[in-house]
Structure 1
Amino acid sequence: MVLGFRFMTERELQKFPQHKFGQAFTTLKCESPLYLTWLEKRLKENGGQVQARKIEDFWELYGSYDIVVNCSGIGSRKLLGDLEIYPIRGQVLKVHAPWVTHFIRDGDGLTYISPGIHNVTLGGTREKDNWNLAVDPSTSKNILSRCCALEPSLQAAKDIQVNVGLRPTRSAVKVQKETLVRGNEKLVVVHNYGHGAGGYSVHWGTAKEATQLVKACIAALQPRYKAKL
Structure 2
Amino acid sequence: MNRVRVVVVGAGVIGFSTAVCITEALPFCSVTLLAEKFSPDTTSDVAAGILFPPKFPDIPLQRQRGWFKDSFDHLLAIACSPHSPEAGVMLSSGCQIFKEPPVDKKPFWSESVIGFRLMTDHELKRFPDHKFGQAFTTIKCECSTYLPWLEQRFRKAGGQVEQRKVSSLEELSNSYNIIVNCSGLGSKVLVGDTQIYPVRGQVLKMEAPWLHHFIREEEGKTYIYPGIYSVTVGGTKQEGDWRLQVDEGDTKSILERCCRLEPSLSKAKVLSKWVGLRPSRRNPRVERELVHMQGRRVPVVHNYGHGSGGVTLAWGTALDAVGLVKQCIQEMQLQAKL
Which TM-score tier does this pair reach, normalised by the shorter chain?
A: over 0.9
Letter of the aligned partner of 2:189 in structure 1?
K
**Does 2:197 match 1:86?**
yes
The reply to whether residue 70 of structure 1 matches residue 181 of structure 2 is: yes
Where 2:203 maps in the other structure, the secondary structure is strand
Task: Indicate whether 1:205 and 2:279 are aligned.
Answer: no
Please tell me whether the aligned partners of residues 286 and 304 of structure 2 are also in contact (alpha carbons under 8 angstroms): yes
Q: How far, CA to CA, are the matches of 2:324 and 2:146 in structure 1?
A: 25
Which amino acid in the other structure matches residue 129 of structure 2? Q
Tell me how far apart the structure 2 counterparts of residues 141 and 49 of structure 1 sit (CA, whole Å).
Answer: 43
* 2:215 aligned residue: 104
Secondary structure of 2:310's counterpart equals: helix
Query: C-alpha root-mean-square deviation of aligned residues, in Å?
Result: 1.7
Given candidates 125, 138, 145, the residue that maps to 2:249 is: 138
In structure 1, the residue corresponding to 2:287 is in which secondary structure? strand
Q: 1:183 to 1:23 in 2, by over 3 A?
A: closer
Contact 1:180–1:189 under 8 Å retained in 2: yes
Q: Provide the residue aligned with 2:286 in structure 1.
A: 175
**TM, length-normalised to structure 1:** 0.93
Q: In structure 1, how many angstroms separate the alpha carbons of the residues matched to 2:328 and 2:200? A: 35
The one-letter amino acid of 2:254's match is I
Give the stretch that moved more between structures: 103-112 or 18-27.
Answer: 18-27
Aligned amino acid, residue 79 of structure 1: L
**Aligned twin of 1:166:** 277
The code of the aligned residue for 2:131 comes to K
- What runs of 5+ residues in structure 1 fail to find an aligned partner? none
The C-alpha deviation readout for 1:170-200, integer Å capped at 9, x for no partner, is 1111111122214623322111111111011
Secondary structure of 1:216's match? helix
Which entry has the higher C-alpha Rg, 1 or 2?
Answer: 1
For 2:151 and 2:293, locate their aligned partners in 1 and report how far apart those are by CA, in whole Å. 33
What CA deviation, in whole Å up to 9, does each residue of 1:47-87 have, x standing for no partner? 00111110111111121111110000110001111101111
Change (3 A) 1:48 1:183: closer
Q: Aligned residues: percent identity?
A: 55
Displacement of 1:37 after TM fit?
2.1
Distance in 2, Cα, partners of 1:108 & 1:219: 42
Q: Does 1:31 align with 2:142?
A: yes
The alpha-carbon deviation at position 225 of structure 1 amounts to 5.2
Question: Secondary structure, in 3 states, of the residue corresponding to 2:332?
Answer: helix
The alignment status of 1:215 with 2:333, answered yes or no, reads no
Structure 1, 2-11 or 44-53: larger mean CA deviation: 2-11
Partner Cα separation in structure 2 for residue 182 and residue 16 of structure 1:
57
Tell whether the 8 Å contact from 1:4 to 1:27 is kept in structure 2 after alignment.
no
Distance 2:219 2:286 in 1: 28
Higher relative contact order (CA 8 A, sep 6+): 2
Mapped contact 1:59–1:187 kept (Cα < 8 A) = no
What's the counterpart of residue 116 of structure 2?
A: 5
Q: Which runs of 5+ in 2 are unaligned?
A: 1-111
- 1:115 and 2:209 equivalent? no
Which residue, 36, 45, 50 being the options, matches 2:161? 50
Q: TM-score w.r.t. structure 2 length?
A: 0.64
Q: CA deviation at 1:88?
A: 0.7
Q: Is the 8 A contact 2:170 2:294 kept in 1?
A: no
Say which SS state the counterpart of residue 175 (structure 1) adopts.
strand
